[in-house]
Amino acid sequence: MKVRSRIILSLLIAIIVFGVYVVFFGLSFGGKSFEPLRALNLGTDLEGGASIVFKLTPEEDENGEEIERDAAEVTASIEQIISVMQERLEVKRLWLSAITRQGEDGIRVDIPLNDTSPMQDATQIAEFLEQTADLTMEDVDGNVLMERSDIDSLEAIEGTLGEYIMYIITTEESKGKLEAETTEILEKGSSDRYLIINLDGEEIAKIYVTQVITNGICGFNSDYTEYEATNLADLVNSGKLSAEIKTAEESDTGAVLGASAKRLFLVASAAAVILFVLLLAVFYRWPGILGGVSVLFYVAASLFSVSLMRVQMMAWSIAALLFGLVFTSLSLMHIYEKCKEEFGKGKNLRAAFKSGYSAANKIISEIFVVCFLLFVILIMSNVAAIKSFSYCLGIGIVLSYLTTMVINRLFLRLLLDIESARTGVYFPANTGKGDKQ
């Protein structure tokens, strides 16, 4: 029994220590790497980012005078544009961007950026977002053969020589249309056998038609780099804007709280973890050492969870995780104090720990329920900072309860199986009356 418990406890500790190492330092295997901390999305208050304002392009009549738009039409256009912009930013893995309407005909986009972001400045992002992405096919005479609604997707495929081939795939309903159009093109002279591919009215490719296209797929070679090819595919596949827009303002924003604030949060967090681990080890002997391992589990699991869930880490978000750390550490101290108190009443070790856990569980569960209800209330908010705080609060309290009531309790059961008689492993000699029944 002792040997089995010792092996299980050693394996659990080794797994947790390895997990902590992977979360903080990453893991590489072959040409791939797993680095959870690089996936952390810091908010603009800690990391900085880009801020862009777009305006609907005014419509003009034949005399060049601006046409007044119906308010309902403007609203519908802006809502559709915001939806397409969200899709484009999600494709680029900029999940935590905030897109809001500004004024009657404006759209504001705030994007947190870091070293791992696929786009790094406001100008680059603005150029990507403001394109209408109206992909069309024409003949040499300028007649539109296939509109954007006829095209299902645009795919970028790397060729054998490293070049990128762009494949236009039509919808099922438009396969017959493309077949008919290419049949008609082939009936013309050889100088007219071209499909002109336009993006927002500008030619990007010319395809020489050699046969009737029956499968709804036509491709063209390009001299695009990988970034340019995937950028074009992402742009088209995210959808066409219902109206033209132009960039009115753009700026790269630094961290609102400054770089020193980020360092302060990191130092304070590291110091808090070290302090609690040392306090547990000094005051509660072997249970305290295992409690320290439990605290490390909480830290690694919470950081991995927020990176996996793509939660935007703002200053208040870090505060919520730190609250979870404090809650975990104080809960462990409260549990050990209750166990020591029960042992002092003359109970044996197993009975003392069982009674101590039961006594501590009541107040810990009550605090957990209150915090969870607060999380449920705050999660309904549409304010980015509040939602970010609430997500981290939920992650923190759930992992805290799991750490104290499951992980650490399992550690203590295994420790009691290994050392069930030596009370000095758990408490000072003068704690209670001994290991009595």
Task: Label residue 255 by pLDDT band (50, 70, 90).
Answer: low
Separation between Cα atoms, residue 214 and residue 28, nearest integer Å = 46
Separation between Cα atoms, residue 400 and residue 368, nearest integer Å = 9
Share of the chain above pLDDT 70, in %: 90
- Cβ–Cβ < 8 Å for 239, 151: no
Asked whether the predicted pLDDT for residue 434 surpasses 50, the reply is: no
Task: Label residue 431 by pLDDT band (50, 70, 90).
Answer: low
Separation between Cα atoms, residue 413 and residue 114, nearest integer Å = 44
Asked whether the predicted pLDDT for residue 141 surpasses 80, the reply is: yes
Rg of the chain (C-alpha set): 31
Positive or negative, the CA dihedral 395, 400, 405, 408 is positive
- Cβ–Cβ < 8 Å for 307, 26: no
Separation between Cα atoms, residue 386 and residue 108, nearest integer Å = 20
Q: 3-class DSSP state for residue 22?
A: helix
Nearest to 337 by CA among 280, 293, 296: 280
pLDDT in tens, 370-400: 999 988 888 877 666 677 788 889 999 999 9
pTM over 0.75: no
Asked whether the predicted pLDDT for residue 17 surpasses 60, the reply is: yes
Q: What is the mean pLDDT of the chain?
A: 85
Task: Label residue 116 by pLDDT band (50, 70, 90).
Answer: low
The two structure tokens encoding residue 196: 């002109």
Quote the distance between the C-alpha of residue 375 and its chain's center. 19
Task: Label residue 135 by pLDDT band (50, 70, 90).
Answer: very high
Q: What pLDDT, on a 0 to 100 scale, did the predictor assign at position 254? A: 63
The amino acid sitting at 292 is G
Q: What pLDDT, on a 0 to 100 scale, did the predictor assign at position 82? A: 93
Q: What pLDDT, on a 0 to 100 scale, did the predictor assign at position 192? A: 80
Separation between Cα atoms, residue 212 and residue 417, nearest integer Å = 78
Q: What pLDDT, on a 0 to 100 scale, did the predictor assign at position 436? A: 41
- Cβ–Cβ < 8 Å for 332, 353: no
The two structure tokens encoding residue 217: 């797929």
Among 111-115, 132-136, 256-260, name the one with the lowest average pLDDT: 256-260
Q: What pLDDT, on a 0 to 100 scale, did the predictor assign at position 170? A: 93
Task: Label residue 258 by pLDDT band (50, 70, 90).
Answer: low
pLDDT in tens, 334-377: 999 998 888 888 888 888 888 989 989 889 999 999 999 988 88
Mean per-residue pLDDT, 235-260: 81
The two structure tokens encoding residue 153: 């997707």
**Phi and psi (nearest 5°) for 10?**
-65, -40
Among 151-155, 301-305, 380-384, 432-436, name the one with the lowest average pLDDT: 432-436
Separation between Cα atoms, residue 176 and residue 151, nearest integer Å = 13
Q: Which residues of 273-284 are buried (b: 16+ CB within 10 A; e: fewer)?
A: beebbebbbeeb
